[in-house]
A and B are shown apart, each in its own frame.
Chain A
Amino acid sequence: DTEVTQTPKHLVMGMTNKKSLKCEQHMGHRAMYWYKQKAKKPPELMFVYSYEKLSINESVPSRFSPECPNSSLLNLHLHALQPEDSALYLCASSQEWGNYGYTFGSGTRLTVV
């Protein structure tokens, strides 16, 4: 299995909703990442988990809350989002943190209304 699987593929949520994005990989990778990508823009790093511990938080607002329950799973909990948070949220993993190419998931297209 050489994939990163993200669910759901599309999500529409209101500004008062609470929702979660899920990411799963079974490649034995020990680093997992959340990126945000706006249309026609490069991915922007949000969080890095290495060996299930949060290693980098790129000053992301607290309305985004990451969680790494085990080495194969990465969640992103969403609460009280703003319309400007609408974007493609990408999960990626790599063998180790920092020095390996990433395998990206297909992303969750999030629309905040």
Chain B
Amino acid sequence: AQSVSQHNHHVILSEAASLELGCNYSYGGTVNLFWYVQYPGQHLQLLLKYFSGDPLVKGIKGFEAEFIKSKFSFNLRKPSVQWSDTAEYFCAVINTNAGKSTFGDGTTLTVKP
């Protein structure tokens, strides 16, 4: 069975600090990888996705993520966070064989102004 692990449950940063949120998955086959963001009171939005090719993917709002196959990781990064980045961040994996998605438990990011 596939699983997704987000090690940071709650991250608190000051504005302009750099961000890295960890995501590791367990599945030996081919996967597609995603990061979603859920701002307070809003619905889930796709931040970025990786299917194949360049393992460094860029998403919206200055976010990027790097797929490291050997480490089964897909960490999310942003060089300089803003107060408006305060939200819940979910990593998700789709097993391309079964088409099933699995979400991590989420990381709550709080950015202090």
Contact = CB atoms under 8 A, between A and B. Distances in A.
The main secondary structure of chain A at its interface with chain B is: loop
A99 B103 contact: no
14 contacts: A33-B101, A40-B106, A42-B90, A42-B105, A44-B103, A45-B100, A55-B99, A56-B99, A90-B43, A102-B44, A102-B101, A104-B43, A104-B45, A107-B43
A55 B101 CA distance: 13
Given A101-B46, A107-B43, A42 B106 contact: yes
A106 B99 contact: no
A26 to B, nearest CB: 17
A39 B44 CA distance: 13
A48 to B, nearest CB: 7
Taking each of B36, B44, B45, B104, which has the highest tally of chain A beta carbons within 10 Å of its own beta carbon?
Answer: B44
A2 to B, nearest CB: 11
A103 B104 CA distance: 18
Contact of B100 (A40, A50, A56, A105): A56
Contacts of B46: 101-103
B94 interface: yes
Contacts of A92: 44
Contacts of B44: 43, 90, 92, 102, 104
A104 B36 CA distance: 10
A59 to B, nearest CB: 12
Contacts of A102: 34, 44, 46, 101
Contacts of A100: 32
B70 interface: no
A99 to B, nearest CB: 5
